[in-house]
Amino acid sequence: YLSCKEDQIIRKEKRERKIAEDVRKGDSKAIWGLIKRKSLGTTKLGPVKDSKGQLQISEGDSRKTWAAHFAALGKAAEETREMVERRTESTRRGNPEDRYHTEKLNACLSEEELDATLRSLKNWKSAGPDGVIPKFWKAASSGTPFGRALLKTLWRIWDSGDIGELWKTAELVVIYKKGCKTDTGNYRGISLIPTGLKIICKVVATRLNEFLAKTKY
């Protein structure tokens, strides 16, 4: 067992060194081949009850039930949307300091900000549907061709608001907690998003935390 485990570690390290070498050489074909690689495995879903309590047995109906369940969880309540709109309008009319912090929220990403975000990525976290591991992006350090290309790409995404189709897909994993296994409420959903998208999400989260710490909200 130990020998097998050591062999897996060695092969993984070789694969990561090859990825880093391709990036340093600027081998765009190898880089994009890695980014576009898809996971071929599928997970068999068991029967679950829909919102009306009807048991859905087929995998297709089960998937639709799960989709409806998580879509309902993701919907913001009407009062939440109204609260956000009120606070946004209040900030616009507020004092200059609040407006200054709001403008910083929308400012373009800086090289220093990208470097800090890349350093914060955890190496052994799961990849998203594109199969790209977090360590891949860490090769985009400041001053490297990869780093400059990534920063320009993120600028375009930030300005346009369009993240592209590849990063709009997340892999949803459901983890059973306890109780009846046909009840969707007895599962916890984990969304595995592409690690490239995770960079943008981390930047947004950091800015929001700083904004909230410096304002009354």
Name the range with the highest mean pLDDT among 22-26, 57-61, 112-116, 168-172.
Answer: 112-116
- For residue 68 the two structure tokens come to 């409806």
Cα(40)–Cα(31) distance, rounded to whole angstroms? 19
Residue 127 pLDDT: 82
Give the tens place of pLDDT for each residue, 157-201: 999 988 888 888 888 888 888 899 999 999 988 888 999 999 999
- For residue 136 the two structure tokens come to 């891949």
The answer to whether residue 129 scores a pLDDT higher than 70 is yes
The answer to whether residue 2 scores a pLDDT higher than 60 is no
Report which secondary-structure segment, H or E, holds 125.
none
User: Residue range 106-120: average pLDDT?
Assistant: 91
Asked if 192 contacts 128 with a C-beta cutoff of 8 angstroms, the reply is yes
Q: Give strand pairing partners of 189.
A: 174
pTM surpassing 0.85?
no
Q: What band does 107 get if pLDDT is binned at 50, 70 and 90?
A: confident
Give the tens place of pLDDT for each residue, 75-101: 766 666 677 677 666 666 666 556 666
Which is it for the CA torsion 146, 147, 148, 150, positive or negative? positive
Asked if 132 contacts 120 with a C-beta cutoff of 8 angstroms, the reply is no
Pinpoint the alpha helices (H) of 75-194.
Answer: 78-93, 96-106, 111-120, 134-137, 145-160
- For residue 9 the two structure tokens come to 């570690």
